[in-house]
Structure formats: structure tokens, C-alpha cells
Amino acid sequence: MSSSKTKQKELPSNEIKTIEELNSIHKFKPWAIDNLTKKRLFLMVLCFILTLGPIRFIIVILLHLICLIFMQIMVIGTKPEQPYSNFRKRLIEVVTQFLCRLACFFYGYVNIKFVGEKNYKNWKKNRKERIIISNHSSLLDMELILSFITGGFIAKESVRRMPFIGNINKCLQGLFVDRKKKNSWIFKEIQKRGETKGIFPLVIFPEGTTSNNKCLLSFKVGAFSAGIPIQPIIIKYKGCFPLPFLDLTYTYYHPFVVCIAQFCNIYNSIEMTFMDPIIPNPEEKKNPELYSQNVQKKMSQVSQLPIINSRYRDALEYRKIIKLIKEQEKEKKNK
């Protein structure tokens, strides 16, 4: 093997030799994963077949397709930045929530435990809080939220190209940001959305990336820059049957693997908490960072999820290191 190739394979830290060691590092704990052993992969395939996974998968695809076609019809003759008519908006809301809840049922989320129903009913009646924030652990978070709230999401640019999800988010007046570019326009758009009625609420994941649902990451200040009231939601994945070891969060594995994992169980347990709305005080209005930290603390207290102030760049570093570890392990086996 050439020296250039050896350098390329070298780990960022010589002390990190195994996935277990990597998972023990504090800043990487939000993405710690269990290895998918051959035995576990076999059980996944077996349960995918026994729990009618292929049929459920096809049904979910069809539901997404119906939702997308419906959305495309409903937005004919409209502009993304303009409010929809009350009738059009209400029809989109009812149909979207029904189809998303039905899709979640076939994913295995038969019963979603809902905490804070009074807060949810109050919000649905008044809809004063136009900005909704949530922790982010899975690709399914968007669909679970859309089962109860119809709103557009602030998502990374790559989501725009995702089948169904990208187009549906556009129809719901969602926004897409490019992480490689400065997105100063997004702060003005959040302010505008917070004050404009008729446009769907904006749903934001302030952590900026997914984690393993065992903590809260550092919050970005963008969602708090407008200094307006916020409606927090907490999503907690509680367990699944018959494969309790299966990780339904999106931390390392390919999105398709995470999607298929949902269909390997007949029962996936989840808890959604609709917190009290948070109204910023004068000091928080002037200081978005303080506002974000205080909201993060309140969400941590309610969810009992510890705060680990890791960021998106730490997630990228984790994935890079774990990839190198797996490559080194493969090389050792081949020798």
C-alpha cells in the first residue's frame, strides 16, 4: 500500500481504534450507535418479511404519492410567498394530517402518546405562535409533526431533491437553506412568517441536524432571531417490538436503511409533548442567543433529555471517523 493511501486512511486521533471508544467521547455521544451485526441484519430481514414490511412499504409510498398529487393540484394558480385562501388552506390541512397519520400507522406507530393536549387545542384554536420548534432525531419527525400540525419546514437544500418530502414541503410553503452559503435572508423570512397570518406556520429544528434522541444538541439562533413567541414540541422514540435493539433515529446509517427499519417492527412507540408556548422577555428579544439557551433549558427540563452542546460539524466528524474505523477493520480482515 502506498504512503499516500496510508495517510488517507489514518484516523484523526490515534487513540480512537474502535466504535466503542468513539461513542464514549462526550461530544460524539449524540450520534453513538450500535453495530448492525450479521445476526441483527438477519433478524431485520426476517421481521421485515414476517411483519408484512414489503406490503406496508408499498402502501406508504402510495399514500405519499396521493398526498403529493393532491398538493400539486391544490397549489395551482398560487404563489409560494402568498397566503392561501381559507378554504384551500383548510382542505390542505385536513387531507395532509389524515394521510400522514395513516402513513405513520403503517410505519408501525399505531398509538402515539400525546402529552399536553390542552396546549395543542389552545394553539389550534388561536394559532398565535407562528414559529414551531422541535428536537430532531429521525427522518420521520416531519411526518409525525404533519400528523398534527400542517406547516412548512426549514430544511437543508438536499431535502428539496428528496422524493415526495421535498415537493410536499414546497407546497406547504417550506424553506430550503444551503449550509455552505450564508443565509441571512432566512432571518427576515422567519420574522415575516411569524407576523403573517394565512401562510402556514414555520416548523424549525433548531439543532440543525439529527441525533440519537438521547440528548438535546446546541440550538442555532436563527429560529429565535425574530424575538417572537415560540411553540415547542418534543418528540421521544420510546421503543419498538419485536426488535427492541433497532435504532429508529437517523445518525449514521443510510436514510433508506432507517426507513426500512421502521417496517421491521409491528409496534413502534413514540411520545409527543406539546409544551406551553414560550413568550420572550425584553432581554431575550434583544439577545437571540440568550433566548435560544433559555428555550433549550426548558425543553431539556420537560423532556428530561440532557444538553450536549455538540453541533452539525461534530456529526460530520463522527461519520468521517466511523467510516475510517470500518475501512480499517475491513482491511485487517482482508490481510
Contact 164, 68 (CB under 8 A): yes
Of 60, 109, 47, the residue nearest 236 (C-alpha): 109
pTM of the shown model: 0.87
Task: Write down the pLDDT at residue 278.
Answer: 94
Contact 243, 266 (CB under 8 A): no
In the block, residue with C-alpha cell 419546514: 153
Q: How far is CA 107 from the centre of its chain?
A: 16
Task: Write down the pLDDT at residue 8.
Answer: 42
Task: Write down the pLDDT at residue 247.
Answer: 67
Distance CA 47, CA 299 (A): 35
169: which residues sit within 8 A by CB, 6+ positions away? 142, 152, 153, 155, 159, 160, 176
pLDDT tens by residue, 44-55: 889 999 999 999
Task: Write down the pLDDT at residue 319.
Answer: 86
In the block, residue with C-alpha cell 443565509: 183
Distance CA 60, CA 54 (A): 10
Task: Write down the pLDDT at residue 184.
Answer: 66
Domain extent listing, the chain: 50-334
Give residue 262's identity as a one-letter amino acid code. Answer: Q
Contact 324, 11 (CB under 8 A): yes
Distance CA 157, CA 171 (A): 15
Q: Which three cell numbers stand for residue 77?
A: 394558480
Report, as ranges of residue numbers, the positions in the chain whose pLDDT lies below 50: 1-10
Task: Write down the pLDDT at residue 6.
Answer: 41
Distance CA 305, CA 47 (A): 30
290: which residues sit within 8 A by CB, 6+ positions away? 283, 284
